[in-house]
Structure 1
């Protein structure tokens, strides 16, 4: 067949050439061979395409040339023939076609690509990208359109990683065309979200890290929202559960229900809150997790109303029962000393989220803490006690205000440069009722109350977990197993003064030497207070409330008792000496 085609093609006389092809056709029909018939059709099509290309190339007027090529392209698209499409691409990218014409034709081809069958789209799309690669700088706009169309096709087929790989080939740092930061951010976030659909945290993190440099200046709320969700999921997949919990919790507290074109329903926010609870339970047991647990279990936000009071005024100007009737020297000293301590520590503190503050009038300030999980996370242990409800009194609140002062620098002047004090006028604790409606609320309650969890409870919780949250670790424990063992060990430290390795192993359901190893790691990492006597094979637990804290609590209790006495005297009409 090939030799017959070659001899027919070599004939210069048109009539003789047609007669020769008719002879070849009669031979093909007589043979009844389908493969030979297909070869004959392909050869004739190629002759037709070549003659069409030759006639288009011969046109000197550029506008007419482009129109002629577009007619050929429409024929190729209508035929849905991959081989003809490839021949068209090869010709357009050859030296016979000027670059200006090639760009316009490829632009049109890229826009019309969606008219082909899905499999043809993918094959031709990949073929174009491969053929363009040596000259990709000259066809960046066309490459962008083709990659987006093929990626959309992969996404519709739920081939998430292939869609992400297709989009990742877009040059977002090109110097040949102007690309704004919003476009870069949208592509980075889109690629990251596609990788996350396949639980590929490594590749997703690479693109979300690129997005992190752009999101701070972004005014697109929808993109910023998607970025936050992706970042939380990446932390979750990488088993940075405590950080993921903080991100999920922040997402669950969003007040808007319409972000761009996306409607945020209550179900999505509840899923974020549930994810925050799950990640907190799976996080390493210790003080940091306890603070986040307290936030999820107990408090949504705290609102304080404060008023600037001039201490130089006579004390009898204030009504009985006010905050200022507590020992002034103690309160003022507590605030000033704590502000100095926190100011000195500010250079070594981790990154924090400042408390938002607004001025209601010249004399009244209203700070609002929308998320204690963020602002209170790096505060002193006293704040943790406040959240968990252990040391809840006016003096404790006064010292808590000192924590706020160190993060709102404009207030420092009120404390140090004038004899002013902040009088507590109103405070409110608002609980997040959504947590109590979650399916995993019972285990959250037990974890928060530091109760030992039994196997049926753990098994019920495991049914709500994702695959990566039950993955097997190098020590042959799953992620869930390790979290539950550490939690039960920390709970046991609240119940026992000391315990033997054997008894601890029985309590935790693991071998004694493994229980010792886990306990030693928790003590070393300051997640549990205690010491290990390896000679006696006993673990001694220590109370995490230090003597100084106990002393402070006794002082707070004394001040509260004194305040109660003064209130009682005022109600009975007794005079209060100043």
Structure 2
């Protein structure tokens, strides 16, 4: 009988050899008794080799499939009780290797070995290895029925393992598998983990509005611990702050600000200032930046960080509430950037429909629209419609001013004719 690595202790080897030749009826009890002896009397140095020798024996040719299945199931239960994770990993991997060519006959037991292995890897914080072991579990089988709940549990666990390693590509692959069956999943924990994984992936991909929505939904789940719900709410606020300024973000900020629990989290102050369109101060921004994850500090294409860009866009919107128009130079000073960059951000936000106004590049001025125009735009007007509204308003104002001036000139002329008819006749009549 072959073993891997150091040899098992002599007493175990002798006992296994005796069991090979024992009558079939006595083998199950004999193997169970020997396993109990191995667990009780093996030293740390011999436990791994003794257990490997044992599993090789029960999966050998001398023990039939019918007898070895319950023996292997009991073995896995005992192996889970071993405190040393390295021992569990070494023995578990050897069991998987032995089972690989005949896994069809041991699918349930093979699954339990791999789940135990995954637990052990995760205890060692080796999440990639855990994910790979879980990936090897047979989920589409003609030998046993695997429910959508069970499939989703495995896939969501793989997703979470990859997220722990910041491998968002593989995480998204398995999250999409869960997405295909989530409608049939009844387990509440799995559904919550799915929502959380969605939020984390959206967050990592800088889809901050989607992430904020997912985090907020999790924070309202009553089955979640209160502390964890507040953590989810905090994450929702952070993502909303980092999201691009505009109508969608404004609506999300409103939902968060109106949440009665928002005042309990540290991010309430910056949430309030953003919601109320107050200009953000450098000290407040610096304090908030210290709470961000590494991916949330990523540098964007224009050389600014995600937070810097979000703050600049917010302050630009705040400025649009304070001013009806402002020079690009003045806006740059207000935002802490040069005039060219300030104008570029304003132009981009106007083009994307996130800011209502127009730019006079000749005079170097940016004109912001009032609340009525902004509200109509937030309801979904296209950019061209917004521009048309701006032009129509300006034209109406011009017409009114011209009409008022003409009426004033006519009134003065009438007064001159009445009070000084000779002067009027000599100078005004042609």
TM-score by length of 2: 0.73
- Higher fraction of helix: 2
> Structure 1 residues 103, 471: CA separation in 2 closer, same or farther (over 3 Å shift)?
same
Q: Does 1:466 align with 2:293?
A: yes
Q: State the alpha-carbon separation in 1 of the partners of residues 121 and 8 from structure 2.
A: 34
What is aligned with 1:433? 260
Corresponding residue to 2:212 among 241, 245, 253: 245
Q: Residue 13 of structure 2 contacts residue 53 of structure 2 at CA under 8 Å; is this kept in 1?
A: no
What is aligned with 1:56? 19
Q: State the alpha-carbon separation in 2 of the partners of residues 458 and 548 from structure 1.
A: 28
Q: Residue 327 of structure 2 contacts residue 364 of structure 2 at CA under 8 Å; is this kept in 1?
A: yes
Q: Secondary structure at the match of 2:184?
A: coil
Corresponding residue to 1:136 among 103, 116, 128: 103
Corresponding residue to 1:225 among 186, 192, 201: 192
Q: Residue 360 of structure 2 contacts residue 366 of structure 2 at CA under 8 Å; is this kept in 1?
A: yes
What is aligned with 2:243? 283
- Cα deviation, residue 489, structure 1: 1.7
Q: Does 1:112 align with 2:78?
A: yes
Unmatched 5+ stretches in structure 1: 1-41, 299-431, 551-578
Q: Residue 328 of structure 2 contacts residue 364 of structure 2 at CA under 8 Å; is this kept in 1?
A: yes
Query: Is 445-454 or 94-103 further displaced after alignment?
Result: 94-103
Q: Secondary structure at the match of 1:545?
A: helix
Q: Does 1:123 align with 2:90?
A: yes
- Cα deviation, residue 179, structure 1: 1.6
Q: State the alpha-carbon separation in 1 of the partners of residues 128 and 19 from structure 2.
A: 41
Q: State the alpha-carbon separation in 2 of the partners of residues 145 and 499 from structure 1.
A: 68
Q: State the alpha-carbon separation in 2 of the partners of residues 455 and 200 from structure 1.
A: 33
Q: Does 1:451 align with 2:278?
A: yes
What is aligned with 2:49? 83
Higher relative contact order (CA 8 A, sep 6+): 1
What is aligned with 1:394? none
Corresponding residue to 2:254 among 284, 294, 301: 294
Q: State the alpha-carbon separation in 2 of the partners of residues 271 and 549 from structure 1.
A: 35
Aligned length: 367
> Structure 1 residues 206, 98: CA separation in 2 closer, same or farther (over 3 Å shift)?
same
Structure 1 residues 180-232: Cα deviation after superposition (integer angstroms, max 9, x where no partner): 22222333333434444455444433333322333323343343333333332
> Structure 1 residues 295, 174: CA separation in 2 closer, same or farther (over 3 Å shift)?
same
Structure 1 residues 306-326: Cα deviation after superposition (integer angstroms, max 9, x where no partner): xxxxxxxxxxxxxxxxxxxxx
> Structure 1 residues 175, 447: CA separation in 2 closer, same or farther (over 3 Å shift)?
same
Query: Is 278-287 or 158-167 further displaced after alignment?
Result: 158-167
> Structure 1 residues 548, 514: CA separation in 2 closer, same or farther (over 3 Å shift)?
closer
Q: State the alpha-carbon separation in 1 of the partners of residues 102 and 345 from structure 2.
A: 58
Q: Does 1:493 align with 2:320?
A: yes
Q: Does 1:522 align with 2:362?
A: no
Report matched runs for 1:351-430 at 5 Å. Answer: none
TM-score by length of 1: 0.56
- Higher fraction of strand: 1
- Cα deviation, residue 288, structure 1: 1.0
> Structure 1 residues 292, 139: CA separation in 2 closer, same or farther (over 3 Å shift)?
same
> Structure 1 residues 485, 91: CA separation in 2 closer, same or farther (over 3 Å shift)?
same
- Cα deviation, residue 177, structure 1: 0.9
Q: Residue 110 of structure 1 contacts residue 145 of structure 1 at CA under 8 Å; is this kept in 2?
A: yes
Corresponding residue to 1:273 among 230, 233, 252: 233
> Structure 1 residues 495, 44: CA separation in 2 closer, same or farther (over 3 Å shift)?
closer
Q: State the alpha-carbon separation in 2 of the partners of residues 92 and 547 from structure 1.
A: 75
> Structure 1 residues 165, 443: CA separation in 2 closer, same or farther (over 3 Å shift)?
same
- Cα deviation, residue 289, structure 1: 1.0
- Cα deviation, residue 474, structure 1: 4.1
> Structure 1 residues 478, 174: CA separation in 2 closer, same or farther (over 3 Å shift)?
farther
What is aligned with 2:410? none
Q: Secondary structure at the match of 1:81?
A: helix
Q: Residue 529 of structure 1 contacts residue 544 of structure 1 at CA under 8 Å; is this kept in 2?
A: no
- Cα deviation, residue 538, structure 1: 4.5
Q: Secondary structure at the match of 1:488?
A: helix
What is aligned with 2:394? none
What is aligned with 1:442? 269
Q: State the alpha-carbon separation in 1 of the partners of residues 48 and 32 from structure 2.
A: 17
Q: Secondary structure at the match of 2:372?
A: coil
Unmatched 5+ stretches in structure 2: 1-5, 378-430
- Cα deviation, residue 290, structure 1: 1.2
- Cα deviation, residue 549, structure 1: 5.5
Q: Secondary structure at the match of 1:526?
A: coil
Structure 1 residues 463-517: Cα deviation after superposition (integer angstroms, max 9, x where no partner): 3333332233343322211111111122223334444444333322234443343
What is aligned with 1:264? 225
> Structure 1 residues 114, 249: CA separation in 2 closer, same or farther (over 3 Å shift)?
closer
